[in-house]
Amino acid sequence: MTSFEALYNQYFKSVYAYVLARTRAEAAAEDICASVWKKCYEKWASYDESKGTFSQWLFTIARNETNMYRRLFWVRYFFPLAQTPEEILPGKDDTPLELLEQDALRHNLLNALETLSNPDRDLVSLKFFSGLNNRQIAAVTQLSETNVGTRLHRAIQKVRRQMEQL
């Protein structure tokens, strides 16, 4: 088996290009790539050549990390950890119109989240604010992992529909 360093050198540019194409943001692509390679290094011992090539395994990790970033982007953008919407300070470069749009989106997202039942809102909070995965949420809530995934999917769909109506 090739060394991890050699594989990193061989695939880094390809992974970065893939992630950059999906996110269209250099800073995000750098963060996601760091996460991909960290996860790859941590799971290196569990890689099984009989299940597929290294590049398939690596790009599966990259795809999953990019998808997670995209799912969490709006929640993190509108609600930075440990802050309420009232505590968020505007950026130096934000125009008054951008600030107004951000405020309206935050308000609409809060309203959309309020339409969820308390248990579903709890699941969404555990997923997006605490960063837990479905297995960890299942352990915390004593629900099955499948049930957690289904309920989260439905809750997110409901929030999306609410946001589209506003």
The answer to whether 116 and 155 have CB atoms below 8 angstroms apart is: yes
The pLDDT of residue 67 is: 83
Q: Tell me the domain boundaries of the chain.
A: 4-77, 91-165
Q: What is the 3-state secondary structure (H, E, C) of 62-128?
A: HHHHHHHHHHHHHHHHHCCCCCCHHHCCCCCCCCHHHHHHHHHHHHHHHHHHHCCCHHHHHHHHHHH
Tokens of 27: 């800073």
The pLDDT of residue 1 is: 59
Higher confidence at residue 104 or residue 46?
46
Element (H, E) at 44: none
Tell me the CATH number of domain 4-77, given options 3.20.20.70, 3.40.47.10, 1.10.1740.10, 3.40.630.180.
1.10.1740.10
The pLDDT of residue 31 is: 93
Mean pLDDT taken over the chain: 81
Q: How many residues does the chain have?
A: 166
pLDDT tens figures, 81-127: 444 544 444 555 667 777 677 777 777 877 888 888 988 987 887 78
Query: Which CATH fold would you assign to the domain 91-165?
Result: Arc Repressor Mutant, subunit A (1.10.10)
Calculate ∠ Cα 109-131-51, nearest 5°: 120
